[in-house]
């Protein structure tokens, strides 16, 4: 069955600084999604959430700034490694979907061997970052490899790959928290559960760009599962997220002043729901990208609580 390949190449590979990079580097930059930096933010921001939550009532110090920088570097390296690995596993599927058909592996601008070497190089950078943290955090961080390895297969076996992505993308919360405190407690588990709900919401929105092609090739997603009820489900996920974030704030005995950035955070989430039109792929992408702002508002919430 013929898929919708009449989109322009520019739709599959949005114009970015990557297009001006040396030609030999472009396929690797695209494998790691340097042309789509929102993923770096969505992987790195939960690390900052966990770090800031750990410091509520204690104040922030130089070690926290150092950890924040390390988590940013690690997010870039590991998101790139994860995307490259995902493309290796999905290379045959990607060739059959309009939005992904021009990725480097299906387009044959890199070989499979080169892609695996690139995965190893990026993972090595991530490991160098991880070993800068205390030993308990290193152990928790390494456990994420199981989640990363299984993720590309989830859309083949379950309608809820977005839930697995939530578990994976937000693993930085307990890693950061244990790096700062040396322990895992109920408060950080609540925040982790909240973040999984956040990811379920924003990645359901993202998946609505591909529902037609996904149906044709047999790829499962919450967007396909929820269909026309997706807006209601996203509202539910964001609602649970808001409640759980509020519970984490309450458990941490944060200053009442955090109600200001927390209110802005929740308002931003529900504005996404208000604007959502699942039939408009461009709008779905724009709403998905706006979660960088949501994540930064939550960083501000916890940072304010740590400083006051």
pLDDT tens profile 13-64: 456 889 899 999 999 999 999 999 999 999 999 999 999 999 998 888 899 9
Confidence of residue 11 (pLDDT cuts 50, 70, 90): very low
At 182 the three-state DSSP class reads: coil
Specify burial of residue 132 (Cβ count, 10 A radius: 0-12, 13-18, 19+): middle
Q: Is residue 271 part of a domain?
A: yes
What is the pLDDT at residue 158? 97
Q: Is residue 8 part of a domain?
A: no
Please tell me the distance from the alpha carbon of residue 96 to that of residue 197, in angstroms, as a whole number. 30
What is the pLDDT at residue 8? 32
CB 273 within 8 A of CB 235: yes
CB 232 within 8 A of CB 251: no
Q: Which ranges in 99-169 belong to alpha helices (H)?
A: 112-130, 135-157, 161-169
Please tell me the distance from the alpha carbon of residue 175 to that of residue 172, in angstroms, as a whole number. 5
- Number of domains into which the chain is organized: 1
Confidence of residue 101 (pLDDT cuts 50, 70, 90): confident
pLDDT tens profile 126-156: 999 999 999 999 999 999 999 999 999 999 9
Mean pLDDT value across residues 185-202: 98
Q: What is the CATH number of the domain that holds 80?
A: 1.10.357.140
pLDDT tens profile 219-248: 999 999 999 999 999 999 999 999 999 999
Q: Is residue 3 part of a domain?
A: no
Range of the domain at 35: 22-307
Q: Is residue 10 part of a domain?
A: no
């Amino acid at each position: 069955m013929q898929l919708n390949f009449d989109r322009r190449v520019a739709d599959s590979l949005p114009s970015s600084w990557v297009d001006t990079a040396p030609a030999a580097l472009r396929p690797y930059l695209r494998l790691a999604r340097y042309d789509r930096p929102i993923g770096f933010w969505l992987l790195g921001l939960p690390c900052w959430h966990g770090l800031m939550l750990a410091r509520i009532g204690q104040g922030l110090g130089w070690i926290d700034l150092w950890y924040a920088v390390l988590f940013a570097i690690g997010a870039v390296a590991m998101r790139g490694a994860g995307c490259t690995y995902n493309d290796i596993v999905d290379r045959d599927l990607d060739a059959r979907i309009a939005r992904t058909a021009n990725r480097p592996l299906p387009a044959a601008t890199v070989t499979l061997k080169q892609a695996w070497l690139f995965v190893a190089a990026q993972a090595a950078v991530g490991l160098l970052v991880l070993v800068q943290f205390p030993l308990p955090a290193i152990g928790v961080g390494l456990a994420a490899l199981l989640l990363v390895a299984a993720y590309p297969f989830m859309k083949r076996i379950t309608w809820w790959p977005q839930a697995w992505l939530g578990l994976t993308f937000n693993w930085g919360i307990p890693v950061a928290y244990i790096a700062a405190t040396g322990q895992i407690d109920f408060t950080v588990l609540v925040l982790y559960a909240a973040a999984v709900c956040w990811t379920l919401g924003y990645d359901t929105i993202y998946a609505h760009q591909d529902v037609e092609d996904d149906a044709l090739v047999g790829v499962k997603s919450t967007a396909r599962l929820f269909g026309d009820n997706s807006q209601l489900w996203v509202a539910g996920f964001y609602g649970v997220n808001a409640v759980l974030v509020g519970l984490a704030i309450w458990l941490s005995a944060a200053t009442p002043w955090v109600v200001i950035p927390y209110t802005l955070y929740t308002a931003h989430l529900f504005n996404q729901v208000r604007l959502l039109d699942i039939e408009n792929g461009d709008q779905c992408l724009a709403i998905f990208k706006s979660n960088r702002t949501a994540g930064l508002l939550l960083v501000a919430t916890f940072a304010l609580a740590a400083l006051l």
